[in-house]
Chains A and B, each alone.
Chain A
Amino acid sequence: MKIPENLMYAKTDEWVKVEGNVATIGVSDYAQQQLSDIVFVEVNASAGDEVKKDAVFGTLESVKAAADVILPISGKVIEVNEDLSNTPEVVNSDPYGAAWLIKLEMSSPAELSGLLDAKAYTKFCEERSH
């Protein structure tokens, strides 16, 4: 299981990549493994929307499970990854790259302090596997 060092993680299994004031958000390798083959990705937000931390902004579906994706931080939507609706399997194959879900201009960067670093998230995943 890959948990890149340069990202931050939410306990609901989303990752956040911070570049300046822009945050890119996706779901972790752990999450995609739990769901198995993803067949459907839906993001319920569009560029320009003001969105709040903890809101459900998307859904991932596999054959046997469905999971909500929850916003780890608040901000204004810059871009949504439209490609995923046609290639949902990318969430399984490249969760930290091509399968990013949404990009935000952060409105309260202080919220980042509530997220886990790679080490803490690794430990969190291991605990759940037992």
Chain B
Amino acid sequence: MTEPTIYELSSIGRVGVLFPEPDVPLAEFPRDLLREDLPLPELAEVDVARHFTNLSTKNYSIDKGFYPLGSCTMKYNPKINEEMARLPGFAMTHPLQPADTVQGNLALMYQMQEFLKEISGFAGMSLEPSAGAQGEFTGVSIIRAYHQSRGDIKRKKILIPDSAHGTNPATSSMNGFEVVGVPSDARGNVDLEQLRKVCDDTVAGLMLTNPNTLGLFDENVVEVIKIVHQAGGLVYGDGANLNALLGIVRPGDLGFDIMHINLHKTFSTPHGGGGPGSGPVGVTRALVDFLPTPVVAITEPATEELPPLYGFVRPAHSIGRVKAFWGQFGMIVRAFTYIRMHGPDGLRKVSEYAVLNANYLMHILKDTYTLPYDRTCMHEFVIQGSWADAPGVRALDIAKRLMDYDFHPPTNYFPLIVHEALMIEPTETESKQTLDSFVDAMLKIAQEAHTNPELLHDAPHNTPVGRLDEVKAAKDLVLCCWIPESEDKLL
């Protein structure tokens, strides 16, 4: 059933939530500054509640089922996190309150900085970046600021392996760097020979995702980092895949200089249908002064009677602000709760079971689906969604058909270096039963691909809508359901 839009549901004169009448004398409005019409919908609360409840039923979600989305770490989001972020003591504090009235917030943020530093092996941490992409932007800005502070202005290149997320090259360009690609070798590692060839004194840094987007831990990572450091470059770690490394290895120990952490992946804050996320950035001691402003510090040490006083400070050579106020605080509270409940042993268990689940699926599926890099994987792996003896069936068809079996599809067509890629990341929160039923669906689909390919081409069949006409969407560009005044303003 097509759900009407809020404007289609609107009835002139209907009222949802009312506010009290003014209890102060009325002031005169500035007449020439008033708007004539306010084209908002008019609905009763029941209309609104039903409309959005109906919409919600059209979504797939972690609360409904399994999301084997490679590179996205769609783990279960504990409900306690939600309740904690909504505690009035957190949710009802204003970002500009005097520090002495928000010592709870500041202490929590300080502790969170310490926790993330310990987990990742870095000396400094900023909680400010709003999401992974902004964390990357922050990190690459720090690379630029570092070289500039040393007067080393000839470093104009950022090296990026061919398996990298698109955000890495985009971020480098945003920061004015030229992007130089580095190929992978036959085992899916960075090709060391090629890396040596491109490393010189014009290289500002390397952006490296490890485990990489094939789900493989680069066996030469220490050497890769050494080569870049010897050329005077810095190594940025894309923390997208940190869920494989908690208590397993600390990127800071491996020699990474900077890394962002996705609280919405590794630390279980909900994805919200595409945000809010949170992307703290960790750096080595040499780079702490370049972090975005502000960071939380102890401004007055504890005494025998009093706890320490926390406050904000500006790092000496800060790259500046990357957002207003102090970070996505509500997400920080959720992730903090998660870390507190897990402790060091629980966090290691998270990564161990994420890796166990991925290897289990990979071992069963590789008999039916081509596995281009047959090594022990980390928290995810990539298979191919096509067969020579099932022409016309593509990874996209498999992805769409999975919806009919009530699973969210895996990431497809990424990484770009694998033909017809299906990238699968089960996460640690899925049980063996869930994995086994996913395997059943994948094997059935492989069979259908050979016996009844049309079933896959037309899939999905059981969803609220079928495959949508994306060409029409891009050409007609209808981006608003209703715009006042005249029809011709409709896009």
Q: Do chains A and B touch in the complex (CB under 8 A)?
A: yes
Interface residues of A (CB under 8 A from B): 37, 39-40, 61-63, 88-89
B285 within 8 A of A: no
List A contacts of B471 (CB < 8 A).
Answer: 37, 39, 62-63
Q: A89 vs B474: C-alpha distance in the bound complex, in angstroms?
A: 12
- CB of B475 within 8 Å of the partner chain: yes
Q: What is the chain B residue whose CB lies nearest that of A37?
A: B471
What 0/1 readout, one digit per residue, does chain B (455-491) give for beta carbons within 8 Å of chain A?
Answer: 0000000000000001100110000000000000000
Measured CB to CB, the closest approach of chain B to A29, in angstroms, equals 19
User: 6 A-B Cβ contacts within 8 A?
Assistant: A37-B471, A39-B471, A61-B474, A62-B471, A63-B470, A88-B475
Contacts of B470 in A (CB 8 A): 63
Nearest to B475 among chain A residues (CB) is A39
Cα of A119 to Cα of B150 in the assembled complex, Å: 55
Known contacts A39-B471, A63-B474; can you find 7 more A-B pairs with CB under 8 A? A37-B471, A39-B474, A39-B475, A40-B474, A61-B474, A62-B471, A63-B470
Interfacial residues of chain B within 160-174, with CB under 8 A of chain A in the complex: none
In the bound complex, CA of A88 to CA of B477 (Å):
14
Count CB-based A-B contacts (< 8 Å). Answer: 12
Contacts of A39 in B (CB 8 A): 471, 474-475
State in angstroms the CA–CA spacing of A40 and B475 once bound together: 7
Please, how many angstroms separate the alpha-carbon atoms of A37 and B472 in the complex?
A: 10
Please measure, in the bound complex, the distance between the C-alpha atom of A62 and the C-alpha atom of B475, giving whole angstroms: 10
Identify the 6 closest CB pairs spanning chains A and B, nearest first.
Answer: A39-B474, A37-B471, A63-B470, A39-B475, A63-B474, A63-B471
**Which residues in B have their C-beta under 8 angstroms from that of A40?**
474
Contact digits for B438-469, partner A, Cβ 8 Å, 1 yes 0 no:
00000000000000000000000000000000
Which of A37, A62, A88 has the most CB atoms of chain B within a 10 A radius of its CB?
Answer: A37
Interface readout for B340-354 with A: 1 if CB under 8 Å, 0 if not?
000000000000000
Which A-chain residue is minimally distant from B472 (CB atoms)?
A39
A39–B470 alpha-carbon span in the complex (Å):
10
Question: Closest CB-CB distance, A64 to chain B, in whole Å?
Answer: 8
Which residues of B sit under 8 angstroms from A37, Cβ to Cβ? 471
A62 to B473, CA, bound (A): 11
Report the Cα distance A111→B470, complex, angstroms.
40
Contacts of A62 in B (CB 8 A): 471
The CA of A39 and the CA of B472, in the complex, are separated in Å by: 8
Closest Cβ neighbor of A86 among chain B residues: B475
Closest residue of chain A to B471 (Cβ to Cβ) is A37
- Quick one: closest B residue to A87, CB to CB? B475
Smallest CB separation, A83 vs chain B (Å): 15
Shortest Cβ distance from A39 into B: residue: B474
CA A61 – CA B475 in complex, angstroms?
Answer: 10
Residue of A nearest to B476 (CB): A39
Distance of A56 from chain B, by nearest CB (Å) = 14
Alpha-carbon distance A63/B472, docked complex (angstroms): 9
- B470 and chain A: residue at smallest CB distance: A63
CA distance A62 to B474 in the complex (A): 8
- Give min CB distance, A53 to chain B, whole Å: 21
Residues of A within 8 A of B474 (CB): 39-40, 61, 63
| Nearest CB on A from B173, distance (A) | 14
When chains A and B are docked, how far (Å) is the Cα of A23 from the Cα of B339?
Answer: 65
Tell me the minimal C-beta distance from A16 to chain B in angstroms. Answer: 28
Minimum Cβ distance to chain B for residue A86 (Å): 10
Q: From residue A93, how far is it (CB to closest CB) to chain B in Å?
A: 13
In angstroms, Cα B470 to Cα A37, docked, is: 10
Identify the closest chain B residue to A36 (Cβ). Answer: B471
* Nearest CB in chain A to that of B413: its residue: A64
Query: Measured between alpha carbons, how far is A52 from B470 in the docked complex, in Å?
Result: 35
For the complex, what is the distance from the CA of A39 to the CA of B475, rounded to whole Å? 5
A11 to chain B, nearest CB (A): 19
Complexed CA–CA distance, A42 and B470 (Å): 19
The answer for the CA separation of A2 and B336 in the assembled complex, in Å, is 61
CB of B256, distance to nearest CB on chain A (Å) = 32
Residue from A39, A40, A62, A89 with most neighbouring chain B CB atoms (10 Å): A39
Q: How far is the CA of A47 from the CA of B471 in the complex (A)?
A: 31
CB distance from B479 to the nearest CB of A (A): 14
- Distance in Å from the Cβ of B170 to the closest Cβ of chain A? 13
CB distance from A43 to the nearest CB of B (A): 18
Question: For residue A63, which residues in chain B have a CB less than 8 angstroms away from its CB?
Answer: 470-471, 474
Distance between A34 CB and nearest chain B CB, rounded to angstroms:
15
B475 contact set on A, CB distance < 8 A: 39, 88-89
B284-306 CB contacts (< 8 Å) to partner A: none
- Give the distance in Å from the alpha carbon of A43 to the alpha carbon of B470 in the complex: 23
Closest CB of chain A to B37's CB: distance in Å? 31
Chain B 105-122 near chain A by CB (<8 Å), digits 1 or 0: 000000000000000000
Chain A nearest CB, measured from B159 CB (Å): 23
Rounded to whole Å, the gap between the CB of B383 and the closest CB of chain A is: 21
Residues in B neighbouring A61, C-beta threshold 8 A: 474
CA separation between A30 and B471, bound complex, in Å? 20
Closest Cβ of chain A to B415, distance in Å, is 16
Cα-based distance from A16 to B474 in the complex (angstroms)? 29
A40: nearest residue on chain B (CB-CB)?
Answer: B474
Quote the shortest CB–CB distance from B373 to chain A (angstroms): 23
**Complex CA–CA separation, A67 to B475 (angstroms):** 17
CB distance from A45 to the nearest CB of B (A): 23
Q: Report how far A40 CA is from B473 CA in the complex, Å.
A: 12
Q: How far is the CA of A61 from the CA of B474 in the complex (A)?
A: 10
Query: How many angstroms from the CA of A37 to the CA of B471 in the assembled complex?
Result: 7
